[in-house]
């Protein structure tokens, strides 16, 4: 034990929360915190990271809530055995642990006498997860990914913004000492944006902007199969073939358009994200066609008599 001399403060971004809707770029941004995309390791609850080419541990949820922490410990042990191969550990998606625990404890949650005990189990789960990550990887960057949910004004019922799907009480547990929170989304012009909040160290803002601005580094496998091609229509209605990356960008823009022009919900966007690219393309295309027809029908609808001849007027 010794007294260390004072020195220059050198803060690091080691605890990060990224939230966003489907196709908003959460996974890609998380990988940018690593020195290269192949040095980001995902503990994935939905299998999305592996589908995008990142190294991942596909998390398997057990049949009992009490065993979730056992499986999570096993996943961390696997990560610990290969620390030389990764810089950043990403938990994707963090709220899935909460939702699955609630599902497994539904019987207790619906029983008045056992409700408090059940919520205590869920809180303990997150405390244990946080403690394990801190003890094993205190010097590593850990990024937690979460979906977006609408934030509703309790009085008016209006949508006033968006927030992580992670419940606030559990967010305070799992993100104890968080360094920054980032929300990924598409603006009205269809351009991807990232809002930064709760930044602990102001001097890290420049470095954070550099990370966000890094070019997309798509993981490449030396033994990868030939890239899949997709058939779609160009502006002239002709059938053309495009590669997977182009198709992915097209689907992202279509989802942003559906959100911007026709109010596609977060759930609908998340559903498209879970589909294959060609399924998502076809589904969004049909969605837009239906919504466009509904809008045109509403605009062409004849005004009702009361509007043409207001009561009390001749």
CA atoms within 13 A on the CB side of 19: 23
6-44 per-position pLDDT tens digit: 656 567 888 999 999 888 899 999 999 999 999 999 999
pLDDT at 229: 75
Across the range 205-210, mean pLDDT stands at 92
Q: Which position has the token pair 């000492």? A: 177
Average model confidence (pLDDT) across the chain: 85
User: Cβ(203)–Cβ(275) under 8 Å?
Assistant: no
The residues that bridge with 193 in the sheet, in sequence order, are 185
Work out whether the CA dihedral 4, 8, 9, 12 comes out positive or negative: negative
- Is pLDDT of 314 > 70? no
User: Cβ(255)–Cβ(269) under 8 Å?
Assistant: yes
Higher pLDDT, 208 or 231: 208
- Is pLDDT of 122 > 70? yes
User: Cβ(114)–Cβ(108) under 8 Å?
Assistant: yes
Q: Which of 26-40, 215-229, 284-298 has the highest mean pLDDT?
A: 26-40
pLDDT at 90: 97
- Is pLDDT of 308 > 60? no
pLDDT at 252: 83
Confidence of residue 224 (pLDDT cuts 50, 70, 90): very low
Question: Mapping DSSP to helix (H, G, I), strand (E, B) and coil, where does residue 42 land?
Answer: strand
pLDDT at 274: 77
**247 dihedral zone (left: phi>0; alpha: psi -120 to 50; beta):** alpha
Q: Does the N-terminal peptide bond of residue 93 adopt cis geometry, omega within 30 degrees of 0?
A: yes
User: Cβ(183)–Cβ(194) under 8 Å?
Assistant: yes
Report the share of the chain in percent with pLDDT over 70. 89
The CA distances from residue 163 to 127, 259, 275, 279, in Å, are 22, 17, 24, 28
132-151 per-position pLDDT tens digit: 999 999 889 999 999 998 88
């Amino acid at each position: 034990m010794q007294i260390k001399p004072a020195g220059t403060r050198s803060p690091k971004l080691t605890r990060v929360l990224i939230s966003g809707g489907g196709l908003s770029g959460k996974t890609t941004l998380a990988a940018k915190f690593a020195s290269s995309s192949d040095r980001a390791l995902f503990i994935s609850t939905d299998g999305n990271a592996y589908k995008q080419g990142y190294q991942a541990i596909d998390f398997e949820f057990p049949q009992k809530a009490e065993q979730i922490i056992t499986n999570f410990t096993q996943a961390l042990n696997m990560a610990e055995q290969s620390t030389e191969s990764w810089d950043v550990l990403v938990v994707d998606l963090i709220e899935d642990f909460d939702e699955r625990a609630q599902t497994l404890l539904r019987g207790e949650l619906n029983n008045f006498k056992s409700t408090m005990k059940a919520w205590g189990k869920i809180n303990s789960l997150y405390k244990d997860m946080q403690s394990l990550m801190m003890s094993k990887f205190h010097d590593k960057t850990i990024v937690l990914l979460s979906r977006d949910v609408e934030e509703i004004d309790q009085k008016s019922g209006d949508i006033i913004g968006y927030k992580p799907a992670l419940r606030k009480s559990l967010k305070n547990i799992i993100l104890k000492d968080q360094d920054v929170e980032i929300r990924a989304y598409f603006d009205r012009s269809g351009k991807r944006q990232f809002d930064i909040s709760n930044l602990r160290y102001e001097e890290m803002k420049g470095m954070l902007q550099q990370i966000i601005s890094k070019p997309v580094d798509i993981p490449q496998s030396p033994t990868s199969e030939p890239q899949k091609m997709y058939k779609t229509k160009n502006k002239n209605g002709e059938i053309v073939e495009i590669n997977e990356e182009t198709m992915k960008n097209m689907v992202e823009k279509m989802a942003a358009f559906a959100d911007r022009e026709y109010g596609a919900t977060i759930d609908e966007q998340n559903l498209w994200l879970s589909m294959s690219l060609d399924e998502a393309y076809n589904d969004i295309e049909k969605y837009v066609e239906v919504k466009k027809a509904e809008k045109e029908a509403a605009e062409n609808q004849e005004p009702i008599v009361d509007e043409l001849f207001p009561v009390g007027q001749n």
